[in-house]
Structure 1
């Protein structure tokens, strides 16, 4: 069975019979986990093993596990620094900042892979303009060249561990105050201004470094009348053609308020897929999933299926083997030393 375009979430720490049935639906291609799905490392390994065993090829298991305030699994996992903390160190010591970015990506990916999680939606490529509260310290820096440099090192760390990287939130969420979880933010800048700032990290990393991209639920009215995640201009003309991106495109969560203008859940999914998304995230609305499946009945995109399948994790170690890795121990020690310093 091929992997479908829907990525769904789960209610708790174990699968219900209804969730098992939905995960076997041909329109489903993956699962995104949240803190509510985590109890312990052993529980997580059991959950991911059960999810992977449901299908062939296995479903893609993802999570938002960037570091800082966006880290879904805590107990039993290494505390990861925020992007801004790494950026602060980089401003003082460029070489150390690069090493920290690499170590953060490596440890994050190695630990998740060892517990059965295929991919984290990271790194954040948004610029820290000091405007967006939802981005805030998730951004490495305001300078797009610094963001590019540190994100590249973070991705190299992920790649070394065996995990594909997903840059977000294209074409940049950092220039607007609004939070797309609760409203549709509007960025009035023209394309020329975005090209000279927020788009730079995407332009430099998309062609060769990133396996996936997540667009923002942000409207850029001087570029297109549709928010980025529903826009053929952004996804086809800019991302695919101008930036030569050939990887997978994930919508941000379609339950977010920034997506509500596209209609009900089924309509949002159809519009996102028509614009160029390969996968749509449908979270926090389990009652809406069956209607979503009906709205997408018969949908098949072989190219998207191929892009999704390439995102399976390639773990080098089991959870038991990982502590013996010299690279892992050294990277983890470097990160832990950061938390003993004053910010």
Structure 2
């Protein structure tokens, strides 16, 4: 199937990446693929038990999508290392971005992670974090690379290049940057008043570098940037 012979329902569904409950391929997943025509699944800790279990789950999902006449699914996970790593048992435990100081360390994380994720049928890693932690109490202080915009860009792009060279799609996050907030946007709506010129010279530098490195995807943040859109957060804003 390609874009030219997709129905409007197919085209709409292919733009969705969805989560689900359970460790096994089940009727909920069948409905998401067959009826909603979704383009991707994202795995969380609630879906992960063992390597063999995940490998079976992803293989069954891909086979079912093929039987339904759909392209291969995007199968994603957040495997940043450190505090955000959905796969733990049986996977290499990295300390996380704050402890990555060299290009060699960034590349090693990406190489090992892409191999381990690919072995269980995951083809997209929701990483790297490209936010710059501007304040000591930033919500991203435990997840961001150390240093300013240029350093974050350099280390993050090494992760992107290595992941993608190993066949793993990379997703830079959280555009246009959440390193200035101390609030968790999963529970509250942070509001930032940074001028567009400030964002361009700082927060956006890593994301522009990611684009130059042909990153597969960019994840939007759930933050309201008052000087860009006073009504809607970035995830919903047409700005």
Q: After superposition, what is the alpha-carbon deviation per residue over 1:199-237, rounded to whole angstroms, capped at 9, x for unaligned?
A: 11111221333110001000011121221111222xxxx
Instruction: State the alpha-carbon separation in 2 of the partners of residues 66 and 44 from structure 1.
Output: 18
Q: Is the 8 A contact 2:20 2:28 kept in 1?
A: no
Structure-2 separation of matches of 1:20 and 1:138: 34
In 1, Cα distance between the equivalents of 2:141 and 2:35?
37
Q: How is 1:1-343 mapped onto 2 (pairs within 5 angstroms)?
A: 4-56=14-66, 57-86=71-100, 90=101, 97-129=102-134, 130-133=136-139, 135-225=140-230, 226-233=232-239
Asked if the contact 1:81–1:104 (Cα under 8 Å) also holds between the matched residues in 2, the reply is no
> Over residues 283-303 of structure 1, what are the superposed CA-to-partner deviations in whole Å (9 max), with x where a residue is unaligned?
xxxxxxxxxxxxxxxxxxxxx
TM (norm. structure 2) is 0.89
Shift of 1:25: 2.4
**In 1, Cα distance between the equivalents of 2:153 and 2:122?**
25
- Deviations 1:55-112 (CA, angstroms, capped at 9, x unpaired): 13222110111100100011111112210011xxx2xxxxxx1100011011111110
Q: How far does the alpha carbon of each residue in 1:176-215 deviate from its partner, in whole angstroms, 9 at most, with x for none?
A: 1111100111111111111111111111221333110001
The number of aligned residues is 223
TM-score under structure 1 normalisation? 0.63
The 2-side partners of 1:48 and 1:196 are apart by: 41
Which runs of 5 or more structure 2 residues have no equivalent in the other structure? 2-9
- Which is helix-richer, 1 or 2? 1
SS of corresponding position for 2:65: coil
Moved over 3 A (4+): none
Structure 1's unaligned 5+ residue stretches are 91-96, 234-343
Higher relative contact order (CA 8 A, sep 6+): 1
1:152: Cα distance to partner? 1.3
SS of 1:228's partner is coil
Separation (CA, whole Å) in 1 of partners of 2:154 and 2:119: 27
